[in-house]
Amino acid sequence: MDTTQLLKGVLDAAVLAVLDRAPTYGYDLVKRLREAGLEEVGDASVYGTLRRLYRAGLLTSELVPSTEGPTRKYYGLNRAGKEHLEAARKAWSEFSTVMTRLLEGEESE
Amino acid sequence: MTTTRETSVQNYLAKVRSLLADLDYQEREEVLADLEAHLAELDPADPSQILGSPEEFVDELRATAGFYSGSRIDRRLRRVGAEIRNRWLAARPVWVGIRGWLAMAGLAILGSDPVFDPFPIPRLGNNPLWGVMAVVLATWLSYRLAQLADDGDRGWRAMERIVGALVAVLVLSAAPYGLYTEHWAVYTASRAAVHEREYLLGLLPENLEASDPQGRPLDGVVLYDQDGRPFDLVWLRRQLGVVVSPEEVSMDEYEPQPRVYPLDP
């Protein structure tokens, strides 16, 4: 199944969840998302999502010099970002419960 | 020496930059800085093999970033608008620096008498010192206004636009007087007249005393010029715009009798 369309709806939450563990830069973020199982996530999608979340005031950014290459811009969650992630967790939990029930043919209580 | 790999990356970045030309300058540079750092980590022989073509990359980026992605014509128009905006932003520090001086020069031109020096230091009240102080104050206010507007407050941004429009109107109103011939001719002629007057005043004696051969002062002597007109220093000095003191006038109150030169026997 093509999960690209599914991914579009949850990429914000996925990016926020990775950044909640520790601030990181774009390249590392893409790598972590793919290692977590979202192999189809596009580089441009991750950077586009980062820019949108940053413009929405949910992220912090900080330039950190690197010994291995160019200066890296680390993105992290601010308070609004953490609140947004918490709301996304709750929404996903409810949504996934409903979808699981539907897909497994269970009747709602 | 630039390698093929570096050239390939630079070409990719240049193409992405041109495809994002309709974005706000700062936003575009943020995106490109992210992409450049990303490509430095990937170190690809050809970025297109990993990221897709620049067009594909930008389409995907626009879709997820929420950037405008309308029709090609719309994007081209927005690109032109963004280019104008970006050029304006690049020139803004210069505008902020000179608009205070421009405002004061405009005021000096419109409010001054014809004998003025609007450049480089405007004279306010025909006084260059006031002009210097006014320019310093106006320049400081201009920078302060720019700082407040840059902090993102909508009210101050609106205020800066209003001030900018007023300065532009002032400069446009004053420009014809400051630059065009009529006022400039009056200014130049006034300057010439001032120099001529100063020259004549230098020639003119301030006082004349008549005395007999023994050097004793003679009272009641009246002097005439070659046309038979009374030689009136007070009148002459008044004609040259000199303010004559009451004491000098009282010394000249008598009415000389007109005679014709050479004197009739």
DSSP codes, B118-160: -SSS--BTTBHHHHHHHHHHHHHHHHHHHHHHHTT-HHHHHHH
Residue of A nearest to B53 (CA): A44
Phi-psi category of residue B196: left, alpha or beta, with phi > 0 → left and psi -120 to 50 → alpha: alpha
Q: H/E element holding A24?
A: strand A24-25
Q: How many domains does chain B have?
A: 3
DSSP structural state of residue B242: P
> A59, A53 in Cβ contact below 8 A?
yes
CB neighbour list of residue B121: distance below 8 Å, 6 or more residues apart? B128, B131, B132, B135
Tell me whether residue B192 is in a domain.
no
Confirm or reject contact between B60 and chain A (CB < 8 A).
yes
**Tens-binned pLDDT, residue by residue, of chain B (265 aa):** 567 778 889 999 999 998 888 888 888 888 999 999 999 888 888 888 889 999 999 989 988 888 876 677 777 777 788 778 777 777 888 888 888 888 887 777 776 654 455 566 676 666 778 778 888 888 899 888 888 887 767 788 888 888 888 888 888 887 766 655 455 555 666 667 777 777 777 777 767 777 888 888 887 777 777 777 777 777 777 777 777 776 666 555 555 555 545 555 4
* Interface predicted TM-score (ipTM): 0.86
CATH number at residue A14: 1.10.10.10
In this structure, the answer to whether residues B142 and B209 fall within a common structural domain is no
Tell me whether residue A89 is in a domain.
yes
In this structure, the answer to whether residues B111 and B43 fall within a common structural domain is no
Tell me whether residue B131 is in a domain.
yes
Tell me whether residue B130 is in a domain.
yes
* DSSP 3-state of B243: coil
> CB distance B34–A50 less than 8 Å?
yes
Q: How many domains does chain A have?
A: 1
Interface A-B: count of C-beta contacts within 8 A? 70
Confirm or reject contact between B50 and chain A (CB < 8 A).
yes
In this structure, the answer to whether residues B62 and B142 fall within a common structural domain is no
DSSP structural state of residue A40: T
> B67, A52 in Cβ contact below 8 A?
no
Among candidates A44, A52, A70 on the partner chain, residue whose Cβ is nearest the Cβ of B57: A44
To 5 degrees, how large is the angle CA A89–CA A94–CA A100?
115
Structural domain range at position B57: 4-69
In this structure, the answer to whether residues B151 and B213 fall within a common structural domain is no
In this structure, the answer to whether residues B163 and B230 fall within a common structural domain is no
Chain A residues touching B9 at Cβ < 8 A = none
Of B121, B148, B182, the last residue of a domain is: B182
Residue of B nearest to A71 (CA): B37
> CB distance A48–B37 less than 8 Å?
no
> CB distance A44–B60 less than 8 Å?
yes
Structural domain range at position A46: 4-103
Confirm or reject contact between A67 and chain B (CB < 8 A).
no
Confirm or reject contact between A34 and chain B (CB < 8 A).
no
Tell me whether residue B80 is in a domain.
no
